[in-house]
Amino acid sequence: MDRPQGPVTGASREALVATAGESIARGSRSFALASRLFDRTTRERAWLLYAWCRKCDDLADGQDHGGDMVAVADPETRLDYISAMTEAALSGQIAGEPAFDALGIVVRECAIPHHLPLDHIRGFALDAEDWRPRTEQDLLTYCYHVAGVVGVMMARVMGVDREDTDTLDRAADLGIAFQLANIARDIEEDDRAARCYLPLDWLVELDIPPGEQMKPQFRPRLAVMAKWLGEMAAEYEASARSGAMRLPFRARWAVLAAAGIYGDIVRTVVASGDHGWDHRVVTSRRAKLGWVARALAQALGKPSRAHSRDGLWTRPKEQPS
């Protein structure tokens, strides 16, 4: 069994935590707000992990703390850099790049198996290869690599034991739900960057020629696919909520708040029908604070019967580090 080691001490860790806090504040107001509900140690570690994820995502997509994605001219070179710097951090080296040094700290402190960050990089590799999903299962596999595995690492940050496979599966489910929401919201943005995460099987079923999904005449059919994504996201979110009830109180509160805040994104896209992509959907600060209050009530409530995972995609089995 992996055993966490004590926190790294010294000014370097404090500086990395501060930089990571700035990163999450710039890159995701939703996650930044939810992270405030953690106890201090968990919050710092969540920030450190986020900083690495954000940096990798920005490098892969040509972004600066999110925002509009652009097609990059050198995806393989960027992937090589991400991989090399991550491997250096995992081996205990000082990478000299705050986000990668942050990963080294959180992996050490939380005994995160090394294959999990490498699984995340596999998602960036798929994008570098101009990969497109053919089936719903392909889509879910991609969602795991780019977000579900982050959920597993976050569960480790929150103290979930590696042997608690069901809770870790449900942590992956939350990441998958978040990514399905992202895909539904960002169909137009992805199209501008020459990407499409809608399964080819879906496009064929609704008679939409691949690459033409944003043409006005296909908007009603695109709304149907957004509804499918929303229904899938709801199932994975429900599973994740069951897992969250097993977490310590403050972690439970934070996860339930994040689930509600992010879930509102796909719910809004679906409710908007043909107009779901007229502007980028965001959750207002008032709505976010509303979810913080609702999540508090949910976290204090009695856990209900666990939502069944029957029929849901399941992450690969853990491997030894």
DSSP string computed for 210-232: TT-TTSGGGHHHHHHHHHHHHHH
Cα separation of 222 and 274, whole Å?
Answer: 7
* pLDDT of 262 above 80: yes
Cα pseudo-dihedral 139, 140, 145, 150, rounded to 10: 140
Cα separation of 318 and 309, whole Å?
Answer: 18
Confidence of residue 320 (pLDDT cuts 50, 70, 90): low
* pLDDT of 10 above 50: no
Point out the least confidently predicted range of 43-52, 105-114, 190-199. 190-199
The whole-number pLDDT of residue 126 equals 96
Give pTM, 2 decimals.
Answer: 0.93
Cβ–Cβ under 8 Å, residues 232 and 178:
no
* pLDDT of 7 above 80: no
The whole-number pLDDT of residue 302 equals 86
- How large is the average pLDDT for residues 120-130? 95
* pLDDT of 79 above 80: yes
The whole-number pLDDT of residue 8 equals 46
Cα separation of 284 and 102, whole Å?
Answer: 30
Cα separation of 276 and 249, whole Å?
Answer: 35
The whole-number pLDDT of residue 292 equals 98
The whole-number pLDDT of residue 14 equals 94
Secondary structure element (H or E) that encloses residue 115, with its range? helix 115-128
Q: What is the pLDDT of residues 16-39, one digit of tens each?
A: 999 999 999 999 999 999 999 999
Q: What is the pLDDT of residues 216-254, one digit of tens each?
A: 999 999 999 999 999 999 999 999 999 999 999 999 999
The whole-number pLDDT of residue 9 equals 43
The whole-number pLDDT of residue 2 equals 46
DSSP string computed for 123-176: HHHHHHTT---SSHHHHHHHHIIIIIHHHHHHHHHTT--TT-HHHHHHHHHHHH
Confidence of residue 316 (pLDDT cuts 50, 70, 90): confident
Cα separation of 114 and 152, whole Å?
Answer: 12
* pLDDT of 81 above 80: yes
Report how far apart, in Å, the C-alpha atoms of 284 and of each of 22, 172, 181, 289 are: 20, 26, 16, 9
Average pLDDT, the chain: 92
Cα separation of 208 and 203, whole Å?
Answer: 5
Domain boundaries, the chain: 8-112, 132-314
Under CATH, to which class is 132-314 assigned? mainly alpha
